[in-house]
Amino acid sequence: MNLSGVKTGPLQAGERVTLTDGKGRRKSIVLKDGGVWHTTKGAVSHDDLIGGPEGVTVVSAGGQQYLAFRPLMSEFMVSMPRDAAVIYPKDAAQILMWTDIFPGARVLEAGVGSGALSLALLRAIGPEGRLHSYERRQQFADVARGNVETFLGGPHPAWMITVGDLVDAIVDEPIDRAILDMLAPWECIDAVAERLVAGGVLTCYVATATQLGRVADTLRAHGGFTEPHATETTVRDWHAEGLAIRPGHGTSGHTGFLIISRRLAPGQAAPMRKRRPAPGAYGPDYRGPRPANIPAELGGRGSDDADE
């Protein structure tokens, strides 16, 4: 089995292809012997594509031209069946880079959603790696497994899905990287920290600024991680034709925040922050975890009672 999911050669029945019209609109279909795709511009016969190469133009009965390609992984991720929201390609790309996913890595992922990030992680770690994925809902896990196996052509030997709460079901094995995509990732930081190797990377993907702040404060309060680094990724299309060069109409705005931090060696504490928190950051209305490396007079726990 080709574990990359990349196929070459003539198009075959059972394969998924992306058809794109002259305005850039895309339609994903699965080729079938004798199959027909009906459009407002007439029907397109699947047999006109089966047995031929990708990158060809097919014409509907009404004269509309469509370009036919096998979908890239990024295209498959946004068009595949889903029961849960997916991590979009722009964020998946950032996660792979910032989390430093490498061939052979032992990776923990929670939750699975519809399997978009799982697919990207499996391609990156290869057959020698290990991906432990945790999902609370059996329905989501089944959809994710189906999507991944559809793209890859079968099960991936490096992938294990566990249905259950991460804190209760986490495997007691060392991991190199961890990605938490869940409603309350701060609840799982202690469990992940116990298994994340020194120098390992933790990335949390959250949707709101409130979640972002809670994760960052929990990492600081834990004391065993570096100062968290938070980012947001936006992508803007551009139109370039002759002298008409301008921003395009399509823009991928906010989808989520990434918080990245590295695990310190056992017994080591995060160094004192060189900048003071903003006035009121840990004021009387603050109810979250209080970092040990913030002086008590500024609202932190202070170094003297850090272990209490």
Q: What is the pLDDT of residues 135-189, one digit of tens each?
A: 999 999 999 999 999 999 899 999 999 999 999 999 899 999 999 999 999 999 9
Last residue of a domain, one of 37, 71, 105: 71
Instruction: Identify whether 64 is part of a domain.
Output: yes
Cα angle: 103, vertex 109, 115; to 5 degrees: 90
Instruction: Identify whether 171 is part of a domain.
Output: yes
Task: Please tell me the predicted confidence (pLDDT) of residue 161.
Answer: 96
Return the SS3 of 53: coil
Q: Span 89-97, mean pLDDT?
A: 96
Instruction: Identify whether 121 is part of a domain.
Output: yes
Last residue of a domain, one of 27, 51, 71: 71
Residues 249, 143 share a domain: yes
Q: How far is it, in rounded angstroms, from Cα 304 to Cα 221?
A: 14
Highest mean pLDDT among 8-12, 21-25, 203-207, 298-302: 203-207
Return the SS3 of 9: coil
CB 162 within 8 A of CB 130: no
Counting the structural domains of the chain, the total is 2
Q: What is the pLDDT of residues 215-254, one digit of tens each?
A: 999 999 999 999 999 999 999 889 898 989 999 877 778 8
Residues 202, 98 share a domain: yes
Last residue of a domain, one of 38, 71, 104: 71
CATH number at residue 53: 3.10.330.20
Q: What is the pLDDT of residues 62-71, one digit of tens each?
A: 999 999 999 9
Instruction: Identify whether 282 is part of a domain.
Output: no
Residues 236, 187 share a domain: yes
Residues 192, 254 share a domain: yes
Q: How far is it, in rounded angstroms, from Cα 168 to Cα 177?
A: 19
Instruction: Identify whether 119 is part of a domain.
Output: yes
**Model pTM score:** 0.85
Instruction: Identify whether 225 is part of a domain.
Output: yes
Residues 133, 221 share a domain: yes
Q: Which residues pair with 37 in a beta bridge?
A: 44
Residues 239, 99 share a domain: yes
Q: What is the pLDDT of residues 249-284, one digit of tens each?
A: 777 788 999 999 999 998 888 776 666 677 777 777
Instruction: Identify whether 48 is part of a domain.
Output: yes
Range of the domain at 202: 76-270
